[in-house]
Amino acid sequence: MGKIKAQSLTDTYTLNNGVHIPVIGFGTWQAKPDDAYTAVKAALAIGYRHIDTAAVYGNEAAVGKAIKDSGVPRQDIFVTTKLWNEQRLNYDDVLHAQFDSLQRLGLDYIDLYLVHCAEIANHHQEWQKLNATTWRAMEYLYTHGAARAIGVSNYMVRHLKELAKTQEVVPAVNQNYLNPFDRQEELVAYDTTNNILNEAYSPLVTGELLNNAIVTAIAKKHNRSAAQILIRWSLEEGFLPLPKSIHPDYIAANAQVFDFELDADDHEQIATLQGKGPMNDDPRTVDFTNFIPWED
């Protein structure tokens, strides 16, 4: 924890390849296409410049249209999308999947392309081979300019150590479930040591922490909302939080986290929440399946 240099939504972290990424991303998980379109347009109008989506969210086309209709120059927006499980069973499928995402988004390149999950349902026994093959294809996309940076999501330390045996490009980002209920300290330390940025999805635990007594007391102390406390905490932990909402008022409020600081007592109180709520799913025991049709 500690002071952060960022003072606005347009301030950035520098990834391990020199690419700059805005310190807060706008998440679109669970947003239906119409809601995603409206929310992303609102977020861009407010000043967000980092939009996070995924093939499996089913809203890439809506996100792309919102970006196009926003009036914000493409080069000023950092776009992340993700490669889904069933679309990476071989090298060529990875290339096909990324092309499909570009088509749906209406973009010429992705700023950050992530492998969405560490293990594929029904293929746990061969995750090492599949991840190595997937990453070779990801490296091809990166070196040929289809993605400005590449990374992973939901990877544990064992997955990253195995990948390191064959990788030529170190992942720039590991996007994971990170919040006061589950700080994943071993993983965060590994990523930090290896210059992999920790992105935090579900920084509000899908709303479960908004009524927590400790969080609301800290919010009252600083005259802030619980969501603002949690997003600020994520930044002070060195994470890149990805808050999400489809409500314009909340979208705006979630960006107002740069004019106050949490103190040591706040951090000590929040630390007591570890393990007292939903924890990260283990890729070895949870199977995520969802069929995504190939584009023509």
Sheet holding 78-83, edge to edge: 26-27, 50-52, 78-83, 110-115, 147-153, 173-177, 197-201, 240-241
Report the alpha-carbon distance of residue 158 to residue 164 in Å, rounded.
10
Q: Return the active site residues.
A: 57
Q: Which residues neighbour 238 within 8 Å (Cβ) at sequence distance 6 or greater? A: 1, 188, 192, 198
The total of other beta-carbon atoms located within 10 Å of residue 99's CB is: 14
Contact 199, 167 (CB under 8 A): no
How many whole angstroms from its chain centre is CA 85? 16
In this structure, what token pair is assigned to residue 271? 């630390």
Q: Spell out a b/e string for 13-38, using b for 16 or more CB atoms within 10 Å of the CB, else e.
A: bebbeebebbbbbbbbbebebebbbb
CA nearest neighbour of 54 among 32, 89, 80, 77: 80
Amino acid identity, position 89: L
Name the H helices within 82-212: 91-105, 127-143, 157-164, 185-193
The total of other beta-carbon atoms located within 10 Å of residue 271's CB is: 13
